[in-house]
Amino acid sequence: MPLLVLLLAAQIAWRAAEPLPEASTGKLPAPPPVAVLEAFSLGEPVPLAGLLTLWLQTVDEAPGATTPFAHLDYGRLQAWLSTLLALDPHADAPLLLASHVYSQVPDPAKARRMLEFVRRAFEADPDRRWRWLAHAALVARHRLGDPHLALAYAQQVAQQARGPAVPHWARQMPIFILADLGEVEAARIELGAWLASGSVTDPQERHFLTETLGELERRAADEKSPAPSNTRQPTKASP
């Protein structure tokens, strides 16, 4: 706690001594090495990570600055987010910012960079970070219009996030994305396996999935049935 107070006081003094930025400012500097920040934290990197997270969110909000998120250097932004996770591996803020804030820019390449950052961070701790990759799947589907990328993220959650705290809906996401892609048979098989596994015990959830399975089976049957012929039989000529 004394270190936190000291850091807060240092930050306030530092910001007070800064001149007001001009309208063209907002550039993001490169982060210091993690080892330097850990040494500066005097053995308490978590409070420092929290302070740096707050600072990072103000880069484009300084008085007079007009640099929106889309104009930030996303290479440096990703480096900062990685640094924050290195200082505090249990922090949710860097992944929340990447998946919910910095991925919302109108630049698809930058949005995809943030989603890929979330995916790599997820792999280091799937059972704790599943929610951010699940949200990345939604961003890929609905903002980027890329259902195949959404499916890849959803399948990674389903395959790697296996802890008891991971909800069923997060691991069932591939089923609905497959159906959305028109892969009805694959979705039907996956959903049937879920119901057959016995892991779904909630009556309402099981009823919903059973109804969904029935709908998928009807769609699969319709796809297999031959299309009605539009050819007409020739009529006999009158004598």
What is the rounded distance in angstroms from the CA atom of residue 157 to the CA atom of residue 162?
Answer: 8
Residue 165, helix vs strand vs coil? coil
pTM of the shown model = 0.79
Count CA atoms closer than 13 A to 238's CA, side-chain side. 0
Task: Show the DSSP H helices in 58-183 as ranges.
Answer: 74-87, 93-96, 108-124, 126-142, 147-160, 168-180
Q: Which of 68-77, 140-149, 230-239 has the lowest mean pLDDT?
A: 230-239
Quick: pLDDT tens for 154-167. Answer: 999 999 999 999 99
What is the percentage of the chain residues whose pLDDT exceeds 90?
62
**Sole residue written with tokens 């296996």:** 162
Rg of the chain in Å (alpha carbons): 26
- What is the chain's length? 239
**Sole residue written with tokens 């934290």:** 41
